[in-house]
Structure 1
Amino acid sequence: MNRHELERWLVNRNREYSQTGIPHIRRPWDAMRDLSIQSGSSISLGSPICDQVFSWFEKNSPPGSHDIGTVYEGAFFLDSAFWQVRVGLLIGAAQIDPLGSLPTMPHMLKHQLATSKAAYHEYIGYWCDCWDFIYGFEALAQSEGTDDRFWKLVKAGYDELRGAVSLLLSQRTNLKSILSFRLATEIFLKAALVREASCSDKDLLRIGHSIAQAAEACRPYLDETFLVELIGTASHFPSMSSRYESEDRDPALVWKANVQAHRAAAEIMRKYTASNVRAQLERKLALLPDSTWLS
C-alpha cells in the first residue's frame, strides 16, 4: 500500500469510526490494529507507516484531541532522589529527547547525567524499558484473542508497577514501594510461564514467591542475559513476609528493584508485541551522547 492508497484507506476507515462513535483519541490506535490485521503483518511504533497514520489523524481531528500528555511515569534515581520519567506519545517527526523526559530534574543535574557515561547508560536502559512496557501494554489491551489468565497477570503487574512508581514520586518518598516492585517482577515472570508453558495455578503455587525459581523456569522463553542477571540479584528483593515490617529501605536497593521490575515488564512486551523502542530508535539514538550501549 503506497502513501496515497494509505491515505484513501484512512479516510474511509475514519468515516467508519465516526459512524460507530469511536473517540478521536482511539482512532489512530484502532487504525494501526485494523491495518495490521488487513495486511497480515505487525506495524512497529516509529515506522514510516505508523508515523503517517498518526500524522493523518493529527491533521484531520479537532485541535488537541490527540494531545494525551503523559501516558506513563517512571522514577529514575540520581543524586539521592527519585525523578519523574515522563513517557509521552511520539508522532511523526517528533524529536526523540530522552533527557526531555525528566521534567522536574534541574538543568545542572541533567548535564551531570548526560556527561556521565555510566549514569546515562543506566538512564537510557530504564527509559527504553518504560517506553516498551507501556506501549506494549496498550497493544496487548487492544489485541484480540489474548489468553485471559495471561492478560489478568499482565494487568496485575501493570497495577503493581504504577502503584510503586506513584509511591516513589509522592511528596514523601515511600521506600516500601520495593515490595510492589518485587511483586510486579514475580507476576510478569509467571505471566510468561502461563503463556508459554500453560502453567496452572497449582504449578505457580509450587514456585511460590521465589523470583529466582520463577526466572529459572522462564529460561526457555525470555532473554537469557536478563534472566541470569535477575537470578544473580534476586536476593536483593525483600521477602513477601517483610511487608508486615516497618524497617527502613535502602534507596539504592529500591532503585535496583525498580529497574528489574520494569525490565521484566518490558521483556514480556517485547516478546508478545511489536513494542521495542531500543531496536526501532537505534538510528535516532545514535545521534545522542554515549549511545554506544546500543551496539
Structure 2
Amino acid sequence: MCTIDEKFVRETDEELIAQDVKIHARPIHVAMAWMDKNSIYGDLFDKQVWEPLMEIYRRLYPSGDFSVPAMLEGGVALRDRMYPVRVSVGFGYFRVEPLKAIDIKHEELELIFQHNPEQGWKAFYGVCDLWDFAYGVDDLVKTNSPASELLNNAQSSLSAISRILTGSLDIDAAVQCACLTAELSMKAALRHLGSSDDEIRNFSHHLKKLSDALIAKAPRATDERLRAACTEFPNYVQTRYASHGLTRLELMALAMRAQFVAADAIRRVTDRNMGGEMEARHDCPARPEV
C-alpha cells in the first residue's frame, strides 16, 4: 500500500479550510480522499493509512486539537467568577453528573457548598440548563426546524457570554449577549411552534411579551419562574449606548438568568428536561431563584 504524502495532505487540507471544515474532522476527509484517489478499499482507520496521516497533521498543527468538540462550551457563575462548562457529545444512554462538568477544582467546589450552598446549587442547575439547551437545540436543528437559524444564533450568543465573563477586562459586552440569548431562544421556540416571522418581529426586544406569548403556546410548571426572570433584564437597546451600571456580581447573575430563560424556552419544545428531573429528585433542593 502506498503511503500518504505530505504534499497531498497540505493541498487537501487547504481545500477543506476553504470549505470551513473544522480541524478535528479534516483528517478523516483527507484519508477518504487519499483512499479514493489511490483506489484503496477497507478500513479508514487502518494503521497504514491513519498513523502516517496523523503524523503529518501533528507536524502541520503542533498545538492542534483533533478531539471531537463539545456539543456546547458555556459556563456557570460561582460568586463573581465564571467557570467553564463543557457539554460533551454523548450517544445512547449515559450518566451525567452536572457538577463534574464544571472546570473547577474539587476542593474549591466543596468549600463553596460548605459556605455558599445556594451558589453551588445555582451552578448545579446552571449546568442542567446548558445541557438541556445544547441537546435540545441539536434535536431541533436535526429535524430541520424552521427555527434553526435562530437556534444557531442563540447558541452562539450563549457561548459568548461565558467567554466574555471568564476574562477580567472588557466584560460589559456580556449584557448584550445575555439579552440576545434570551430573546433569540424564545423567538426560536415560538417560530418552531408555528409563529410567523412577522409575528415574531412584532415582539421586537420585549422579553416579557415574548415570555407571555411562549407561555400561552406551551405552558409549563415553570411559567411564573420564566415570567419573573424576563422582568429582570436590562433594556437591550439602551445598554447599547449607555452604561448599564451592573457590577461584576450582577453580570454573573444576569448570565445565569439568560441561560435559564434559553433552556426553559427549549425545554418547552423538546423532550429535554434534565433541570426539571433533577429538581424533582428527593436528594436535590428546589432550584434557587434565578
Asked if Structure 1 and Structure 2 have the same fold, meaning a TM-score greater than 0.5 normalized by the shorter chain, the answer is yes
TM-score (structure 2 length as normaliser)? 0.65
Residue matched to 1:211 = 207
Paired position in structure 2 for 1:101: 101
Within 2, Cα distance between the matches of 1:234 and 1:157? 16
Instruction: Name the larger-Rg structure.
Output: 2
Q: Where does 1:44-55 land on structure 2 (aligned, <5 Å)? A: none
1:75 alignment partner, SS class: strand
Taking a change above 3 Å as real, the CA distance of residues 154 and 215 of structure 1, as seen in their structure-2 partners, is same
Instruction: Mark the CA change 1:278 to 1:169 in structure 2 (over 3 Å): closer, same or farther.
Output: same
Matched residue type, 1:291:
C
- Listed as ranges, the gaps of 5+ residues in structure 2 are 1-23, 26-49, 52-65
What are the Cα deviations for residues 107-156 of structure 1, in whole angstroms up to 9, with x where unaligned?
33210234454223212211111011111222222224x22xx2222222
Partner of 2:110: 111
Distance apart, 1:215 and its partner CA: 1.0
Identity within the alignment, %: 20
Aligned twin of 1:192: 189
Matched residue, 2:85: 85
Q: Where in structure 1 are there 5+ consecutive unaligned residues?
A: 1-24, 27-61
Cα deviations by residue, 1:171-216 (Å, 9 ceiling, x for unpaired): 5361331211111211222222223352332x33432211111111
Q: CA deviation at 1:166?
A: 1.6
Q: Which of 232, 236, 240 lines up with 1:236 in the alignment?
A: 232
Higher helix share: 1
Shift in alpha-carbon separation, 1:266–1:173, aligned structure 2, 3 A: same
1:82-116 Cα distance to aligned partner (Å, 9 max, x none)? 1112222345786533222222x233321023445
TM-score, structure 1 length as denominator? Answer: 0.64
The 5-angstrom pairing of residues 239-254 of structure 1 reads 239=235, 240-254=237-251
Give, in whole Å, the separation in 2 of the partners of 1:129 and 1:156: 17
1:84 to 1:173, Cα distance in 2 relative to 1, 3 A: farther
Partners of 1:207 and 1:92 lie apart in 2 by 38
Please give the root-mean-square deviation of Cα atoms over the aligned residues, in Å: 3.5
Aligned twin of 1:129: 129
C-alpha distance in structure 1 between counterparts of 2:250 and 2:78, whole Å: 13
Quick one: distance in 1 between partners of 2:262 and 2:175?
Answer: 15
> Is residue 159 of structure 2 the alignment partner of residue 162 of structure 1?
yes
Q: Which amino acid aligns with 2:73?
A: E
| AA matched with 1:219 | I
Matches of 2:279 and 2:179 in 1, distance apart? Answer: 30
What SS does structure 1 have at the residue aligned with 2:205? coil
Aligned residue pairs, count: 227
One-letter amino acid matched to 2:284 = S
